[in-house]
Structure 1
Amino acid sequence: MAIPRVKHFEITLTDEGVAIIAFNRPAHRNALNGEVYKEWDRSLMWAAQSPEVKVTILTGKGKLYMGGHQLASTADIDESKSRKAVKESIVCVQSLLNTLINFPKLLIAAVNGPAIGIGMTTLALCDVVYAVPDAIFLTPFMQFGFCAEGCSSYTFPSRIIPPDNFISDVVAIATKTTNFPPIAIFQTKNLVRARERETLMAVNRNECEVLLER
């Protein structure tokens, strides 16, 4: 399957089958909006369905991993349009989180810098998390008047790696797993995730319903 053409992510695929999906919105500090959620979901669906992809890495371009949800300034808010945009974003978030919960292949997060909001909470839905020593993890939901998201009302790095050659080191680790029998990875991941999949799906649904009530 061809690598999807997306605006806000840089996607590469190594010869060994390691897909690297990198958030790439430096002007917005890698923050997400409805369009970006859709692209992230689409990128993950490609990685899940593509026979060429054996392992997937999520990371960020520049010095940030992810800046969380992009908030509009007070001056830009049109209440009716804002309400519609929020509902659309929540639908996109719910779909994205369900894709993460049900992702069938090994999913690695390479946290190269600050992980804020949903950028942090979705780490718990990855199989392995690697982080640079100065990575910052922040969930300022209450500060902005939001409830928990990203299944964080239910869930919470596996290893800290020096910043020099960070991504190449994570890719090297991921590459080793491409030699493992795919069925073994699938079965092991299913054993770990099966017990909590329905719970996570329900938590995701409930969180999105509460967000819609805001």
Structure 2
Amino acid sequence: MHGGDAMEELVRVETHGSLALVALNRPEKRNALNPLMLQQLHQHLLQLSQDPTVHVIILYGEGAGFCAGADLALLEQARKENNFQAFSEAEELLQECVKLLATCPKITMAAMHGFVLGSGLDLALACDLRVAAAGTQIAANNVRLGLVPDGGATWALPRLIGLGPAMAMLLSGDPVEAEGAYRLGLIHKRVHAGRHLEEAAAWGGELARCCWGAHAAIKRLARVDPRLTLEAALKEEREAQKRLFEDGLPSRSAGRTPS
């Protein structure tokens, strides 16, 4: 952890109506994640997940790229001192952020550009939707540091793009550009360079006009244990639908969000 960071806003949040824009704000360090930054990110995500006025959370990076992964200074210090505890604490914070992005009742979206590496990829994979600018380099490069992914990539990648392509990314650490990532199904939209945040916000605005209660239920249902039987999944869907009716469905007109 760097001494100067203590006074900095390493994660910045802006809200625009029902959209929340969450910026990784450490551009001079390529938005590398250190414990303070992860603490701030977790705090903001927790608050936003409980805010009834927010329906979509968009995560993006300031500066040249989305996120370069974990702060290597922390890793080198842990190796030098043979102290896994400090690294483990940061790892735990990362995992808490991943779980919040994946399970909070809001639509979460990663707006990516430049580079999306290691733990940065973990954060992006935890989001429901991903938008990437042309030229974005995406890599699970943990293996090149002699490490395994510790923010869910070994779980998420095979489910998103299939075991074969996932193994190639995980074992090699080689980057995939936005166009290739789109073909693999790793990202949902690829956009012109410099337009990742604008396009993500436009998409988020469209989604926010739909019934947020249905979004929350769909997200929960889609992320249940994949070993769940079809019969059990159908039952879960019926129960979710019942709750939506009991809570009051919105008018069909313009897909308005219920007040």
TM range (shorter): 0.7 to 0.9
1:161 maps to 191
The RMSD of aligned alpha carbons is: 2.4
The percent of aligned pairs where both chains have the same amino acid is 23
- Give 1 or 2: higher helix fraction: 2
Is the contact made by 1:102 and 1:197 (CA closer than 8 Å) also made in structure 2?
no
Partner of 1:8: 10
What TM-score do the two structures reach when normalised by structure 2? 0.68
Q: Which runs of 5+ in 1 are unaligned?
A: 199-214
Rounded Cα–Cα distance in structure 2 between residues aligned with 1:95 and 1:146: 19
- Count of matched residue positions in the alignment of Structure 1 and Structure 2: 192
Q: Does 1:177 align with 2:207?
A: yes
Q: Which residue of 1 aligns with 2:38?
A: 37
1:49–1:165 distance in 2 versus 1, CA, 3 Å: same
After the TM superposition, list the runs of 4 or more consecutive aligned residues in structure 1 that deviate by more than 6 angstroms.
Answer: none
> Given the superposition, is the C-alpha separation of residues 76 and 164 from structure 1 closer, same or farther in structure 2, using an over 3 Å criterion?
closer
| Paired position in structure 2 for 1:123 | 124
Contact 2:78/2:86 (CA < 8 Å) preserved in 1? no
In the alignment, which residue of structure 2 is the partner of 1:190? 220
Structure number with higher relative contact order (C-alpha < 8 Å, ≥ 6 residues apart): 1
TM-score (norm 1): 0.81
Cα distance in structure 1, aligned partners of 2:38 and 2:227: 21
Q: Which amino acid aligns with 2:133?
A: V
Separation of aligned partners in 2, 1:173 and 1:161: 12
Amino acid at match of 2:204: A
What amino acid is the match of 2:126?
Answer: L
SS in 2 for 1:130: strand
CA contact (8 A) 1:13 1:19 kept: yes
**Cα offset, 1:112, TM superposition:** 2.0
CA contact (8 A) 1:101 1:197 kept: no
Distance 1:103 1:38 in 2: 17
Decide whether the 8 Å contact of 1:112 with 1:166 is kept in 2.
yes
CA distance in 1, matches of 2:19, 2:93: 26
Specify the structure having the higher radius of gyration (Cα): 2
